[in-house]
Amino acid sequence: MDAAAGLSVREGLGRLADYWVVVYRRTWRGSVISSFASPLFYVLAMGVLLGGFIEADPDTLEGATSYLAFVVPGLIAAHAMQTAVGETTWPVMSMWKWNPVYPSMLATPLTPTHVVTAHLGFVAFRLATTCAVYMVVVAPFGVFESWWGPLLAYVAQVITGLAFAALVYAFTVRISSEEAFGVLFRLGVFPLFLFSGAFFPIANLGEVGAWVARATPLWHGVNLSRMLALDHVTWWVAGVNTVVLAALVVVGWRLSVRGLTRKLVA
């Protein structure tokens, strides 16, 4: 790489890897407990205990033979969203506000593109591990219909998380106070969590409601994850879901780089 033109993204990520390895070494203990405990609690409460009251035709449950099988793939996609949002709100803001690590990175040959990509890469790693743990925890409940479906569903869940990570990162670099996170959670994360089809088929929302749900990013993740896990795939819909999620990752990433540049290289 020409020194004058700067570093390639790959080279920059290599230089930032040590930092994120140290961060992970410091934080993994805490994240392991929540990675195991929360899926188990959710699956027991929503899937087994609440689901025990639900007797429904597979046709009304988008092809699932039980409520547990219905709720699990959606829950994991929603969990990916929550993990992503958790990792890209306070922890990102902290990087210039409370523990200004970003300014020190940017004083070196690294650029906002490297800094954003490495941070989102770390979030992707966190998503990959938490979703993997979740899938392993739920597997013994007999909710999967094939061996390849859950693997693809797992990829869909990680991409869903990554889409939210990129979008919320772009949001965080544009606000000046953490108070805005309250609005993000109340008006963004909670409604999505509850109404994007993770807990009930969006058909129950009525014609208009269902279309509103389909317009949300989380629905694309929930739907893709569920179709694949239940081996009940409408391929053109899966294609749309994938394209939407991938596009959100790219758009969010670009907005994040631009936002961080404006914030710290001004």
Interface residues with other proteins (CB under 8 A) are 3-4, 6-7, 11, 15-16, 18-19, 22-23, 26, 99-101, 103-111, 264-266
* C-alpha–C-alpha distance, residues 184 and 231, integer Å: 34
Looking at the Cβ atoms of 22 and 37, the one nearer to other proteins is 22
Looking at the Cβ atoms of 15 and 254, the one nearer to other proteins is 15
Looking at the Cβ atoms of 33 and 266, the one nearer to other proteins is 266
* C-alpha–C-alpha distance, residues 115 and 125, integer Å: 15
* C-alpha–C-alpha distance, residues 213 and 191, integer Å: 10
Looking at the Cβ atoms of 62 and 87, the one nearer to other proteins is 87
Find the shortest distance in angstroms from Cβ 255 to other proteins: 20
Alpha helices in 89-229 (DSSP H): 90-97, 101-106, 112-138, 148-172, 179-183, 190-195, 206-214, 217-229
- The separation between CA 70 and the C-alpha centre of its own chain, rounded to angstroms, equals 19
Do the beta carbons of residue 16 and residue 115 sit within 8 Å?
A: yes
Find the shortest distance in angstroms from Cβ 22 to other proteins: 6
Looking at the Cβ atoms of 110 and 152, the one nearer to other proteins is 110
Eight-class DSSP state of 199:
S
What burial class does residue 145 get, using C-beta atoms within 10 Å of its C-beta: 0-12 exposed, 13-18 middle, 19+ buried? middle
Which residue from 101, 85, 37 is spatially nearest to 193, judged by alpha carbons? 85
Find the shortest distance in angstroms from Cβ 168 to other proteins: 22
Find the shortest distance in angstroms from Cβ 192 to other proteins: 31
Find the shortest distance in angstroms from Cβ 3 to other proteins: 5
